[in-house]
Amino acid sequence: MVRPFTGLRLSFAVGLMAVAGLAGCGDDAAAPESGASPARTTAPASATPTRTPTPTPTPTAADGRNLRACVDGTCEVKVTRPVEIGLDEEKLELAAVKVTSLKAGAVSFEMVLSSSGSFDFRCDGDTACETFVVGPAYGSPGTGRVTAHPGAVIRANGLIVHVVTAAKGAAILRMKPR
């Protein structure tokens, strides 16, 4: 004989069936159907918004494009084409710095010797820096040729040239006496 469920027994049986039924209702992300992509959840919005970093501004040269500011050996200039920067030959033992090329990430220039003919020349801070000395020869002063990259420090006689930036078509050079 089968007895019908009554009272507490009936409540317990209904509760047990409800729990068993809910156990079968798992998270769809845990067991995706074949061919279906799992459901994605998003994190709650934070109370403080995150700020995106601002891009680093392109540096500007203190003396702009005023190459005459360099005569005494103290300047910071932007060059955008091949130029000749005249120097105080007696003070710096160099007649000029001639920018010959502006390529992506590099600047090439010549350090033109004074008539004395002596030359103290080196490049630091740039493992890819290329230097080459020519002359002096009869009727022409010697030159130190350099291809340098940002961070390079070139010392030539009484002048120090720091390559601040170098990009295709532009470079910032900071000069100071030694």
Average the pLDDT over 146-167 and give the result.
95
| Interval 33-90: pLDDT, tens | 555 555 555 555 555 656 665 555 567 888 888 999 999 999 999 999 999 999 999 9
Average the pLDDT over 135-158 and give the result.
89
Residue 177, pLDDT above cutoff 60: yes
Return the percentage of the chain with pLDDT > 90, whole number: 48
Of the candidates 26, 22, 28, 24, the one whose C-alpha atom is nearest the C-alpha of residue 40 is 28
Question: pLDDT band at 116, cuts 50/70/90?
Answer: low
Element (H, E) at 89: helix 89-92
The values of phi and psi at residue 85, to 5°, are -105, 110
Question: Where do we find the tokens 């006496």?
Answer: 177
